[in-house]
Amino acid sequence: MIDFTLEKNLQNADGRLQLELQTSFDDGSFVALFGPSGAGKTTVLRMLAGLTQPDRGKIVVGGTTWFDSSNKINLPPQRRSIGFVFQDYALFPNLSIRHNVAYGTGKGDNAWVDELLGLTGLTALQNRLPGMLSGGQKQRVALARALARKPALLLLDEPLSALDAELRSQLQDDLALVHRRFGLTTLLVSHDVGEVFKLSQRVLRLEQGQITQSGTPAEIFLQQRVAGKLNLRAQVLAIRREEVVYILSLLLGQDIIDVIATDDEIDGMRVGDIVSVSAKAFSPMVSR
């Protein structure tokens, strides 16, 4: 059981932000912290890890108090049972992959390190240096390294945001596998709806420093889609004129489509605008 109450006054580009939250999760749950940039998500993770100090609050993990401002308890990160995966991976450039993963473990844990390397598909790469690895491989190392101490709480700070869609998907599967295998309580910071949906059992929506919503991914994200109309958001890449109509090239997710648009629809539109694409008759063809 993980309970925490955190308060912190943040200073960001837009001014001051008061971060205030109180929540708890069950052991073994996979929770996502979702919200726009600047809402304070990374700060929450850092406060749980002990890398940033809250102004006020209390953190209790599995019966142990990690932080209590009223009793002046503040365990340093070394004494908290955490695994942290940083957005920039933070791999140690001077150590091989194996030594990076084994960094948090003791002397006789070779079998455990082997198991971690095998699980994350890194066995063949274990003697290489981080500088020779691709982004996806580095992220796997960061994950394996964070798991090495068998932490009570696994904290993932937008671990996949620097990767392309296909790699993201593969690594999301790895994260799901790891969670099923070890049953670690995991807190994932992400702004990718698909990822949150795929991996988490519970979502906390953080906006302007406050938790505005808390529930399952379905409860948080599927509320709006009740109408029987297909409504998509796309970005305008190009506007071409063909005789009496305009052809709009739109970026829909990762796909590019061309649609016909009339003068009225084009009015005021510029390349780069985010537009809404909707179809009234709702029977699209769906196939694998």
Partner 1 sequence: MSYDWQPLLLTFYLAAMTTAILLVIGIPLAYWIAYTRIRIKPVIETFVSMPLVLPPSVLGFYLLLAFSPQHAFGQWLDHWLHVKLVFSFAGLVIGSVIFSLPFMVHPIQSGFQNLPASLIEASRTLGKSDLTTLFRVLLPNMKSALLAGTVLSFAHTVGEFGVVLMIGGNIPGVTKVASIAIYDEVESLNYAAANFYAMVLFAITFFILLTVYVMNKKWVRAG
> What angle do the packed helices 110-119 and 165-182 form, to 10 degrees?
140
Q: Give the dihedral of Cα atoms 144, 148, 152, 153; nearest 10 deg.
A: -30
**Nearer Cβ to partner 1, position 90 or 176?**
90
Map residue 155 onto helix, strand or coil.
strand
Could you give the C-alpha distances from 259 to 274, 279, 282, 287, in angstroms and in order?
A: 15, 12, 18, 21
Cβ-contact 97, 125 below 8 angstroms: yes
* Contact set with partner 1 (CB under 8 A): 49-51, 76-78, 80, 82-84, 86, 88, 90-95, 103-104, 131, 145-146, 148-149
d(CA 261, CA 266): 7
Nearest of 121, 126, 119, 128 to residue 177 by alpha carbon: 119
Map residue 73 onto helix, strand or coil.
strand
Q: Report how far Cα 15 is from the mean position of its chain's Cα atoms.
A: 25
Q: Give the dihedral of Cα atoms 93, 94, 99, 103; nearest 10 deg.
A: -80
Least separation in angstroms between CB 116 and partner 1? 13
Q: Tell whether the torsion through CA atoms of 26, 27, 32 and 33 is positive or negative.
A: positive
d(CA 204, CA 286): 31
Nearest of 192, 189, 202 to residue 41 by alpha carbon: 189
Phi, psi of 67 (to 5 degrees): -150, 135
Map residue 33 onto helix, strand or coil.
strand
